[in-house]
């Protein structure tokens, strides 16, 4: 048992990494545990899946992030259990670590909502591993379709939120611009991208104007929209919709929702919506002394009473705020309720097109200006200079000359 840490942080995503960075700056002894040895930038995973950028643009080694922060130790290990009463975590090799404060920032996992066949046949998009698996599957499907007479590489994307819209847009662009360039003639005309959601429109939290713009752009890119239709089954050869329609497809992408992961479900902490932990406005868990839950693992209500969505900006800001409160805990100060600075949201719909609703006032942008804002914001958010340079160079080659800068090697049949 190693008990020399003041704080243990489980998860090196936006929330956990930011909390550890802030605490490290104050000299707090932190143990940061993540199953991966890198931080993954989820907002660009769909671009990895579409072979638009490489893995090295979205994954940053955690040891490199903390190389100069001597009070933070990075441990690569899967956490298998959390004991919130004693603030002890157990890792997959049976080691146990205990501390005065425990920060649970383990993110979420895909929620298949018990849809038959979804877990077995659909490709989720929540991690670097998911994105590379999907990228390989897409390339393999194209290679296979290229070999066969009248072969197809159709994709169904389930979920019309930002992830589903961005993924469908990127894949449709590949079919429109790259497939005719690199595969046999006629293949692009046979390939379809479908976007399905049980809700009546795409991007439901956005304004009607942004939704209309997005629908229009997707249709122009060739995406077939099936809104107001739930998926009742995912099959090896496509999906079945609630009205019995079958959409045949070689690949089904699942962007249909998230829930808390197993260690959270087994933690004994009180679970709320989506299996996430309901936290107090100061980001601690009621009845669990010294336990903070942040980011996608938590249902956060901020100081103004607003229920916050599962977003990178919420996770990052909750990490920063929790670090302040933890420092107060350790130095005899008083915790403050979390105040979220709402910067709005945005979604890209292919090259030169995006929608953005900025700030609390939701200032609306559509088209090239929103696209440039999207690029700027994501470039600024990407952690690490090397990651920024790699993403920028891929975007330049991808968006300017439509050249796939990342060759993906599909698994041979
Ligand atoms: C495809 C996609 C696109 C998105 N696009 C946007 C966007 O454009 N804008 C935006 O604001 N938000 C976006 N989001 C949401 C945003 O990425 C998340 O809200 C944010 O990443 C949550 O941060 P987090 O730190 O809570 O969790 P994560 O970033 O998920 O980090 C959790 C960490 O915990 C680790 N972990 C999990 N379980 C264990 C375990 N048992 N043991 C050890 N380590 C563990 C994981 O490896 C991971 O590193 C997107 C999400 C996805 C999936």
State both tokens at 82.
Answer: 């959390």
Q: Provide the pLDDT for residue 168.
A: 98
Provide the β-strand partners of residue 248: 238
Q: Provide the pLDDT for residue 397.
A: 84
Q: Provide the pLDDT for residue 6.
A: 97
Q: 130-154: per-residue pLDDT in tens?
A: 999 999 999 999 999 999 989 999 9
pLDDT averaged over every residue in the chain = 93
pLDDT at 292 > cutoff 80: yes
CA distances from 260 to 277, 285, 320 (A): 8, 15, 21
Q: What are phi and psi of 98, to 5 degrees?
A: -130, 145
Q: Provide the pLDDT for residue 405.
A: 55
The CATH topology of domain 2-35+77-110+258-331 is: FAD/NAD(P)-binding domain (3.50.50)
Residue ranges in 298-349 assigned as alpha helix (H): 312-331
Count the helix, strand and coil residues of the chain and give each as a percent rounded to the nearest 5.
35, 25, 35
Rounded to whole angstroms, the Cα distance separating 322 from 338 reads: 8
Residues forming the active site: 166
Mean pLDDT (whole number) for 360-370: 93
- Confirm whether 2-35+77-110+258-331 and 118-256+344-401 share one CATH topology: yes
Q: Which CATH number applies to 118-256+344-401?
A: 3.50.50.100
- Give Cα 223 distance to the centre of its chain: 22
Q: Which of 170-179, 269-278, 299-308, 394-403 has the lowest mean pLDDT?
A: 394-403
Domain boundaries, the chain: 2-35+77-110+258-331, 118-256+344-401
For residue 2, the SS3 value is strand
Q: Provide the pLDDT for residue 399.
A: 79
Q: Provide the pLDDT for residue 181.
A: 87
Which is the closest atom of ligand 1 to the Cα of 16?
25
Compute, in angstroms, the gap from residue 296 CA to the centroid of ligand 1: 7
Q: What are phi and psi of 141, to 5 degrees?
A: -65, -40
Q: Provide the pLDDT for residue 413.
A: 47
Protein residue with its CA nearest to atom 4 in ligand 1:
43
pLDDT at 403 > cutoff 80: no
Compute, in angstroms, the gap from residue 269 CA to the centroid of ligand 1: 20
Mean pLDDT (whole number) for 8-27: 98
Q: 195-209: per-residue pLDDT in tens?
A: 999 999 999 989 999
**Ligand 1 mutation pick, 21, 43, 323, max ligand atoms within 8 A of CB:** 43
Cβ 161 vs Cβ 125: under 8 Å? no
Mean pLDDT (whole number) for 21-31: 97
User: Tell me, what's the ipTM?
Assistant: 0.98
**Ligand 1 mutation pick, 39, 41, 283, 311, max ligand atoms within 8 A of CB:** 311
Kindly indicate the confidence band of residue 1, based on its pLDDT and cuts at 50, 70 and 90: very low
* Longest alpha-carbon distance in the chain: 73
Q: 320-364: per-residue pLDDT in tens?
A: 999 999 999 999 999 999 999 998 999 999 889 999 999 889 999
């Amino acid at each position: 048992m190693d008990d020399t840490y003041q704080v243990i942080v489980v998860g090196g995503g936006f929330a956990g990494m930011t909390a550890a960075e802030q605490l490290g700056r104050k000299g707090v002894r932190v143990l940061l545990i993540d199953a991966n040895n890198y931080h993954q930038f989820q907002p660009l995973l769909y671009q990895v899946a579409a072979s638009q950028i490489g893995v090295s643009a979205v994954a940053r080694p955690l040891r490199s992030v903390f190389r100069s922060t001597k009070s933070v130790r990075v441990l690569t290990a899967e956490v298998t259990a959390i004991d919130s009463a004693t603030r002890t975590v157990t890792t997959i090799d049976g080691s146990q670590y205990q501390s005065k404060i425990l920060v649970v920032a383990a993110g979420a996992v895909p929620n298949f909502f018990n849809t038959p066949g979804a877990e077995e046949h659909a490709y989720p998009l929540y991690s670097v591993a998911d994105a590379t698996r999907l990228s390989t599957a897409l390339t393999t499907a194209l290679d296979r379709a290229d070999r066969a007479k009248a072969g197809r590489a159709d994709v169904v994307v389930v979920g019309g939120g930002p992830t589903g819209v961005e993924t469908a847009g990127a894949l449709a662009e590949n079919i429109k611009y790259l497939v005719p360039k690199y595969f046999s003639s006629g293949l692009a005309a046979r390939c379809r991208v479908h976007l399905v959601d049980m809700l009546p429109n795409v991007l439901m939290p956005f304004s009607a104007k942004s939704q209309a713009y997005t629908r229009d752009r997707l249709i122009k890119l060739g995406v077939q929209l099936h809104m107001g239709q739930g998926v009742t089954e995912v099959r090896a050869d496509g999906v079945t919709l609630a009205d019995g329609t079958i959409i045949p497809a070689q690949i089904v992408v699942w962007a249909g929702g998230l829930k808390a992961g197993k260690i959270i479900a087994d933690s004994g902490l009180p679970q709320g919506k989506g299996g996430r932990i309901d936290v107090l406005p100061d980001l601690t868990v009621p009845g669990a002394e010294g336990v903070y839950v942040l980011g996608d693992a938590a249902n956060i209500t901020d100081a103004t009473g607003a229920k916050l969505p599962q977003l990178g900006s919420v996770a990052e800001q909750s990490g920063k705020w929790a670090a302040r409160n933890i420092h107060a805990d350790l130095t005899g100060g008083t915790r403050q309720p979390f105040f979220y600075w709402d910067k709005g949201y945005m979604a890209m719909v292919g090259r030169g097109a995006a929608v953005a609703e900025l700030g609390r006032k939701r200032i609306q942008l559509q088209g090239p200006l929103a696209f440039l804002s999207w690029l700027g914001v994501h470039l600024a958010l990407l952690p690490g200079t090397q990651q920024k340079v790699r993403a920028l160079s891929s975007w330049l080659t991808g968006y300017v000359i439509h050249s796939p800068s990342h060759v993906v090697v599909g698994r041979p049949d």
